[in-house]
Structure 1
Amino acid sequence: MAKTYKGEAIEIGFEMNRCIHARNCFLKLPQVFDPAKRPWVSPDAAPAEEIAAMIRTCPSGALTFRRLQSQADETAPGINRAAVLENGPNAFHGNLVVGGERLTRATMCRCGQTKNPPFCDYSHVEAKFAATGEPAATGKDAPGDDAGEVLEIIGHENGPLEARGSLEITSGTGHRLHRGTRAFLCRCGQSRNKPFCDGSHKTAGFEVPQS
């Protein structure tokens, strides 16, 4: 359940168990987001548009916003994207549906250690997960950039994460790796073909509920 901080022009939501501590908020707007203070969010300490622009850069979607004096709420980008982060999760940005919930940003675990599946909870750091954010391109470039199409993300029981819908998968620096309408992504941390599933979850005895 997200905690909310309401100001005069903007309401900020924060869901702690989805935060991956990217620190975009503090580094860009420390007067608004300061973990050393209580409350740590001050929604009136900067113009609402600056706050909204910063929140749009939060990769995990832990921070959200609602404009109170205009209709300029967050919208999904034209093309659904999953960026493979170095030694970390897959960062999705698009018209997402996860467990029936509509989202625009979410980071999905690929180390197999999260306690909040299918979302990343920063467990990859403690687990010392190592996986490149610059894997080789698959060479597959099927149509997959239909603007506005819904991307459903399904965590299969004891198995991979399925992305069903138009999707472009990129490296952490933005190079295209794959484009299509269906992808199975490793979330056990054991695949030899990361970020894609190669069936290693079966031999690894990976256990995770449907999500």
Structure 2
Amino acid sequence: MGTDNFQFTGARKYTNDEITVYWKPSACVHASYCYRELIEVFDPGRRPWVDMKGAPTAEIIRVVNLCPTEALTWKWNDEEKNKNVTPDQTNHINFKRPELATQSGTDEPENPVSVKIMPDGPVVISGNFIFEYSGNRKEFREGLLSLCRCGASHQMPFCDGHHRKIGFEDK
């Protein structure tokens, strides 16, 4: 097992013999893919809520890759395997959190803007972009931003997960 140099602020980590999964609660928009797809591993009613022994590693990776935000990311515990991860492994830290991966000698990856409307949830914008607030205040954003669509957020215009509490549904 390799050394874990991939710590980041506000994240919790869960590991088995093969991979480490990172959960960053502040990035979670409660899209619910994790527990709908794999309740044996991701059970919000249990503490700790992630049980890495609940399913085979390949299934955990598949479900973590469904997370539309950087709330769930993963890496191989064998550092050699991290060097050969392909882009279809969307939530591997090399792609979701490249600043965490040690990739000396490589060019910095491009970060195109992507906009995704989550079913019954927020608009998720990722990439490098300029976010313009009302009043013409502009801010360069790098990474991920979730915008409220339900109108119930206490952190407007950003999503804070209230869409789930009020039962927001797409029309």
Q: Which residue of 2 aligns with 1:22?
A: 31
Is 1:38 the equivalent of 2:47? yes
AA of the residue aligned to 1:84: I
Per residue, is there more helix in 1 or in 2? 2
Q: Does 1:90 align with 2:123?
A: yes
Q: Which residue of 1 aligns with 2:12?
A: 3
Conserved 8 A contact 2:115-2:124: yes
Measure the CA separation in 1 of the matches of 2:141 and 2:53.
28
Structure 1 residue matching 2:75: 3-state secondary structure? strand
Question: In structure 1, what is the Cα distance between the partners aligned to 2:152 and 2:118?
Answer: 16
Q: How far did 1:41 drift?
A: 0.7
TM-score by length of 2: 0.56
Q: C-alpha separation between the residues in 1 aligned to 2:140 and 2:17?
A: 31
Gaps of 5+ in 2: 1-9, 86-91, 97-109, 132-138
Identity %: 28
SS at match of 1:4: strand
Kept in 2, the 8 Å contact 1:34–1:41? The answer is yes
Change (3 A) 1:101 1:92: closer
What's the offset of the Cα at 1:131?
6.5
Give the counterpart of 2:72 among 46, 50, 63: 63
Alpha carbons of structure 1 residues 13 and 118: separation in structure 2 relative to 1, 3 Å = farther
TM-score, normalised on structure 1?
Answer: 0.47
Q: Deviations over 1:158-205 (max 9, x none)?
A: xxxxxxxxxxxxxxxxxxxxxxxxxxxxxxxxxxxxxxxxxxxxxxxx
* Change over 3 Å in CA distance of 1:67–1:115 after alignment to 2: farther
Q: CA deviation at 1:57?
A: 1.0
For residue 60 of structure 2, the aligned residue among 46, 51, 56 is: 51
1:122 equivalenced with 2:161 (yes/no): yes
| 1:16-36 CA-partner distances (Å, limit 9, x unpaired) | 233233321122222211223
Q: Specify the SS of the correspondent of 2:31.
A: coil
Amino acid at match of 1:89: P
Which residues of 2 match residues 143-182 of structure 1 at below 5 A?
none
The verdict on how the C-alpha distance between 1:51 and 1:7 changes in structure 2, with shifts beyond 3 A counting, is same
Work out whether residues 29 and 122 of structure 2, in 8 Å CA contact, stay in contact via their aligned partners in 1.
Answer: no
> Is 1:81 the counterpart of 2:114 in the alignment?
yes
Larger strand proportion of the pair: 1
Q: Distance in 1 between matches of 2:149 and 2:121?
A: 7
Partners of 1:109 and 1:117 within 8 A in 2: yes
- Shift in Å, 1:90: 0.5
Aligned length: 130
Query: Partner of 1:50: helix, strand, or coil?
Result: helix
